[in-house]
Amino acid sequence: MSSPPPSDAAPSLPPLWVSLLPAGALVALLFFSIKVLGSSGHIPLIAATAVAGLTGTTILKRPWRELEAGLIQSISHALPAILILMAVGLLIGVWIASGVVPLLIYYGLQILAPSYFLAAACAACALISLAIGSSWSTAATAGLALIGVGQALGVPEAMTAGAVVSGAYFGDKMSPLSDTTNLASATAGADLFEHIRHMLYTTMPALAIALSIYLFMGFQASVTGDRTAPAYLEMTQGLEGGFDLTVWLLAAPVVTLALIARRTSPLPALLAGVFVGCVLLLVFQPQNAPEGVGSVIAILYGGFQSHSGTAAVDELLSRGGLTSMLETIALIICAFGFGGVMEASGMLARLTQAILSGARSSAALVTATVLSGVGLNFLTADQYLAVVLPGRMYRAAYAAHGLHPKNLSRAIEDSATLTSPLVPWNTCGAYMASVLGVATFAYLPYAFLNLLGPVISIAYGLTGFTIEKIERTAPPKP
């Protein structure tokens, strides 16, 4: 995942209308750039950061050095995510060249059928992410292979990516090994396993509905492939002809996933997978490394270029490398810069406070928490900030309304954790798009678990279903 949250330092809060200026500029510029021009979010984020800086220095009279320090500190918090992205770029390139990803795709083609592929993809990613506690590692391993399987089976890539993201974030939300699960419970003041049990009420219905939709979609005309289709046969033959598909290639994902399951930090676990992949490349796919170590280094840097002679295989497997992640890294730096200026100026805290001020009832408080998590994913571009800030700001309000802390931690996860991969400039959305090769807004309509989580959470808040009460610590503010 991305990075630890920043410190608790917060300046005095500015007027709401001032805080809305850079937020409104960001929304307008991103909409124009992405939806109208079909461009990226880099320049709008830089422009919105400039608006935030000008607002902070001219209207709020804050020293530029203070805002610059916040910008730099925010970007420094993104460094763990950036390092992981770089490692994943290396891993994808070498795992494809060594035959690891082709083998996983080949096995998937032998097992899965179009009618239940989407549901199986979601379920498989849910189980893997639950076991290792990482949506990012799940997407970079099983998710990437499933994209290839779906393509050969005639399943649109956006649908496959949506199913992968749904499954991957089930485990990211529910696993006791997940950093966001631990962070949400700690920030809200809830016991970890009590928090996980409480999330079952919202997450399991969301997963059940998502799997049902995927099964329904699998039997529709939009998913028409089969094992006799030319695309399937072409993919299978291309993989068999281009790679030595031996079971020993599974050593790379086994080592990586085993390390992550043992709670090894993601970066060394991924780098271990890169090392094993390099060895497998030299041993089993020498045709892809004709210059030995020199070829391996070239693949690690620039990715793998497939020349199997099969168009579908070459298009799918020509990717990876350090350079493939540079655009995503630049997007993350731009987004974190905006979030840093907004937080250092106090405008971010003011926007969150405005939402809290309208929460006069328990139902409104839960709804405000969910909306804050979603909104902060858009404004800060960081899942951790979207988890920590509502927990930090709403914890006393939940106690004052007589609501158990696990209600807060659940609402945070239902919103901040689940919607982070649905925002293109968020670290999670940018990561998933880069790894899966599918634009965030393309897979968004099919990430059903992620879309359903916030809706179910708000519905529970409005009806009071599963909302556990405790004795109030103080009367709620009028």
Residues whose CB is less than 8 angstroms from the CB of residue 89 and which lie 6 or more positions away in sequence, other chains included: 303, 320, 321, 322, 323, 324, 325
- What pLDDT sits at residue 8? 44
The answer, yes or no, to whether residue 201 has pLDDT greater than 90, is: yes
* N-term to C-term CA, the chain: 39
Of residues 286, 210, 185, the one with CA closest to residue 243: 286
Element (H, E) at 476: none
Residue 147 to residue 317: CA distance in whole angstroms: 11
Amino acid identity, residue 262? Answer: R
Report percent pLDDT > 70 for the chain.
Answer: 91
C-alpha gyration radius of the chain:
23
Asked if 368 and 411 touch (Cβ cutoff 8 Å), the reply is: no
Of residues 285, 229, 259, the one with CA closest to residue 101: 285
Residue 463, domain member (yes or no)? no
Q: Mean per-residue pLDDT for 292-320?
A: 85
Residue 113 to residue 120: CA distance in whole angstroms: 9
- φ and ψ of 14, to 5 deg: -85, 175
> Which of the 8 DSSP states describes residue 475?
P
- What pLDDT sits at residue 150? 86
Residue 392, domain member (yes or no)? no
Residue 111, domain member (yes or no)? yes
Residue 49, domain member (yes or no)? no
- φ and ψ of 229, to 5 deg: -70, 150
Which token pair is 269?
Answer: 């676990």
* Low-confidence winner among 219-223, 365-369, 417-421, 469-473 (lowest mean pLDDT): 219-223
- φ and ψ of 56, to 5 deg: -65, -40
For tokens 């250092």, what's the residue? Answer: 344
- What pLDDT sits at residue 10? 43
Task: Please write the tens of the pLDDT for every residue from 109-139.
Answer: 777 777 888 998 999 899 888 867 778 878 8
The answer, yes or no, to whether residue 226 has pLDDT greater than 80, is: no
> Domains in the chain: how many in total?
1
Task: Please write the tens of the pLDDT for every residue from 315-334.
Answer: 778 888 899 888 878 877 88
- What pLDDT sits at residue 283? 93
Which token pair is 416?
Answer: 């901040």
Q: Mean per-residue pLDDT for 63-91?
A: 86
For tokens 């670290």, what's the residue? Answer: 427
Residue 125 to residue 168: CA distance in whole angstroms: 5
Amino acid identity, residue 23? Answer: A
Confidence of residue 63 (pLDDT cuts 50, 70, 90): very high
Task: Please write the tens of the pLDDT for every residue from 410-468.
Answer: 999 999 999 999 998 888 998 899 889 899 999 999 999 999 999 999 999 999 998 88
The answer, yes or no, to whether residue 345 has pLDDT greater than 50, is: yes
Residue 48 to residue 29: CA distance in whole angstroms: 8
The answer, yes or no, to whether residue 206 has pLDDT greater than 80, is: yes
The answer, yes or no, to whether residue 225 has pLDDT greater than 90, is: no
- What pLDDT sits at residue 275? 95
- φ and ψ of 469, to 5 deg: -100, 155
Residue 226, domain member (yes or no)? yes
Other residues' Cβ atoms within 10 Å of the Cβ of residue 219: 11
Residue 199, domain member (yes or no)? yes
Q: Cα dihedral angle (184, 135, 368, 405), rounded to 10 degrees?
A: -20
CA atoms within 13 A of residue 98's CA, in its CB half-sphere: 29
The answer, yes or no, to whether residue 164 has pLDDT greater than 90, is: yes
| Average pLDDT taken over every residue of the chain | 84
The answer, yes or no, to whether residue 387 has pLDDT greater than 60, is: yes
Of residues 378, 367, 373, 372, the one with CA closest to residue 440: 378
Domain span at residue 254 reads: 80-325
Confidence of residue 370 (pLDDT cuts 50, 70, 90): very high
> Which of the 8 DSSP states describes residue 12?
P
- What pLDDT sits at residue 227? 58
What are the angstrom distances between the C-alpha of 68 and each of 3, 49, 127, 145, 340? 19, 11, 43, 42, 8
- What pLDDT sits at residue 230? 64
Task: Please write the tens of the pLDDT for every residue from 257-295.
Answer: 888 778 777 789 889 999 999 999 999 999 998 899 999
Residue 29 to residue 144: CA distance in whole angstroms: 32
Of residues 429, 321, 443, the one with CA closest to residue 1: 429
User: How many residues does this entry show for the chain?
Assistant: 478
Could you write out the DSSP letters of every residue in 387-454?
Answer: HHHHHHHHHHHHHHTTB-HHHHHHHHIIIIIHHGGGSTTSHHHHHHHHHHTS-HHHHGGG-HHHHHHH
Confidence of residue 6 (pLDDT cuts 50, 70, 90): very low
Neighbouring-strand partners of residue 304: 319
Asked if 255 and 143 touch (Cβ cutoff 8 Å), the reply is: no
* Low-confidence winner among 87-101, 201-215, 313-327 (lowest mean pLDDT): 313-327
Task: Please write the tens of the pLDDT for every residue from 17-41.
Answer: 999 999 888 888 877 876 677 677 7
Residue 463 burial (CB < 10 Å; 0-12/13-18/19+)?
Answer: exposed
> Which of the 8 DSSP states describes residue 13?
P
